Amino acid sequence: MRGRKPKPSYLKVIEGNPGKRPLNDDEPEPEGDLSDAPDWFNDEQRARWQYAIACAPQGLLKRLDRSVLTVYVVAEVVHRDAAEKIARYGSVIKTKSGVAMQSPFVGIMNKQAAIMLKAAAEMGFTPSSRSRVQVKGGGPRRGNRFEGLRELGDD
């Protein structure tokens, strides 16, 4: 499939459908809000999960989004661990022969940051993905199944 990924209809409604293209009325609707962290998470991962759930707009994350949030949380914890090790040991280390080289934790940290940013953008967690969302002003389309979605942020 070429071009940009299609934007979910609920985001188009929240943004006021700037492209004015018809909405997909047959788009599947995931059910159930996301709340519980995976059983295998450790305490730090569970805390990061709860933080993400608490900070996300209510009703945005659904149970189907669990895998994306799981990837985000695991990457965040690994990123933090690598960043702490870089702070402790430095970004440059010496080999046994005395040659200076980049710490392997720099690569780990950078890879986890890329994973986090990709997952965050998918869930609308980044500043640029949030900047396109307008919750106030203008009413929703009449007769649309997303009617009332704009009012979620008016509380």
pLDDT tens digits, residue range 96-126?
A: 999 999 999 999 999 999 999 999 988 888 8
Distance CA 110, CA 82 (A): 9
Specify the range with the lowest mean pLDDT, choosing from 28-32, 85-89, 121-125.
28-32
- Give me the pLDDT at residue 96, please: 93
What are 94's strand-pairing partners?
100
Name the residue among 118, 123, 121, 153 with its Cα closest to residue 136.
Answer: 153
Q: Where are the alpha helices (DSSP H) in 20-125?
A: 43-55, 66-89, 104-123
Mean pLDDT of the region 44-62: 90
Q: Which amino acid does the sequence have at 128?
A: S
* Helix H or strand E segment including 91: none
Specify the higher pLDDT residue, 122 or 59.
Answer: 122
Count of residues making up the chain: 155
Q: Residue 128: helix, strand or coil by DSSP? A: helix
Residue 50 has, within 13 A of its CA and on its CB side, a CA count of: 7
Instruction: Yes or no: say if 133 and 13 are a contact pair by the CB < 8 Å rule.
Output: no
- Give me the pLDDT at residue 149, please: 59
Q: Which amino acid does the sequence have at 93?
A: I
DSSP one-letter code for 138: S
Specify the range with the lowest mean pLDDT, choosing from 9-13, 56-60, 144-148.
144-148
